Amino acid sequence: MEKDLSNYRKSYEKGELLLSEVPENPLELFQKWFYEVDKHFAGDETNAMTISTLGLDGFPKNRVVLLKKYTYEGFIFYTNYNSEKGKAIDANPNVCLSFFWHGAERQIIIKGKAEKIAPNLSDGYFESRPRGSQLGAVVSNQSDVVDNRQFLESKLANLESEFEGKEIPRPVYWGGYIVKPVEMEFWQGRPNRLHDRIRYKLQDDYNWQIHRLSP
């Protein structure tokens, strides 16, 4: 099987990113871009992000998760702590997040360290989830091999009966991580492949060093 993709081309012309105009803190620029994409490009799932971890098998692995909160401290998402990604983070908390908003021709790449958030914060988010999503977190031993989908459907049906009329407690193996950034790169597509790339690197004094990178 072979397909030549060399003629797939696009000219990026929707914006610019000037070093003279960026804020001192990258979280402020992230918030500005997030709001703009969320407002003007509703077709994009704005909070979808790729997280890259180094697996226990020595291979890096990417997967898409949903950003659920961001603050000046970092970026929060939720998952099964016993999943493949959870075990990878436990062994090596250095991760990479990336957002690609194709409608706005923008990309953000974030290097950081992941750590579990406080249990009470995970409790609060779990309680806010739809009941079906709560049950789904209990049903799934994420990343484990299963024989077929019927196994999952049957387990869900049993749990629906077990918890009918009752609150569903958060499983201890499910909760949030916060990724605290040490480097953030903002990419804005430009014509002729001369894209704008601005990189922030966290310094020992907790200020951010800012550089323009060659595309």
Position 207 scores a pLDDT of 97
The answer to whether residue 77 scores a pLDDT higher than 90 is yes
Catalytic residue list: 193
Q: What percent of the chain has pLDDT over 90?
A: 80
Higher pLDDT, residue 154 or 214: 214
Max CA-CA distance within the chain?
A: 60
pLDDT given at position 147: 85
Q: What are the tens digits of pLDDT across the range 152-177?
A: 888 888 888 889 999 999 999 999 99
Token pair recorded at residue 82: 């016993």
Average pLDDT over every residue of 78-97: 97
DSSP state of 170: P
pLDDT at residue 213, as a whole number = 98
Residue 146 has pLDDT above 90, yes or no: no
Give strand ranges (E) for the chain: 48-54, 60-66, 69-70, 75-80, 94-101, 106-116, 174-188, 196-202, 208-213
Instruction: Provide the pLDDT confidence category of residue 144 given band limits of 50, 70 and 90.
Output: confident
Residue from 62, 73, 68, 31 nearest 47 by CA: 68
As a whole number of angstroms, the distance between CA 95 and CA 183 comes to 11
In whole angstroms, what is the distance from residue 29 CA to residue 22 CA? Answer: 7
Rounded Cα distance between 199 and 209, Å, is 8
pLDDT band at 59 (very low <50, low <70, confident <90, very high): very high
Listed by start position, the domains of the chain span: 19-118+173-213
Q: Which whole number is the average pLDDT over 190-195?
A: 94
Average pLDDT over residues 17-35: 97
**Mean pLDDT estimate for the chain:** 94
Least-confidence region, from 44-53, 91-100, 148-157 = 148-157
- Residue-wise pLDDT for 1-12, tens only, equals 999 888 888 889
Question: pLDDT-based confidence at 58, cuts 50/70/90?
Answer: very high
Q: In the prediction, which pLDDT does 43 show?
A: 74
- In this prediction, residue 143 has a pLDDT band, given cuts at 50, 70 and 90, of confident
* CATH of region 19-118+173-213, choose from 3.40.50.10470, 3.30.420.40, 3.40.190.10, 2.30.110.10: 2.30.110.10
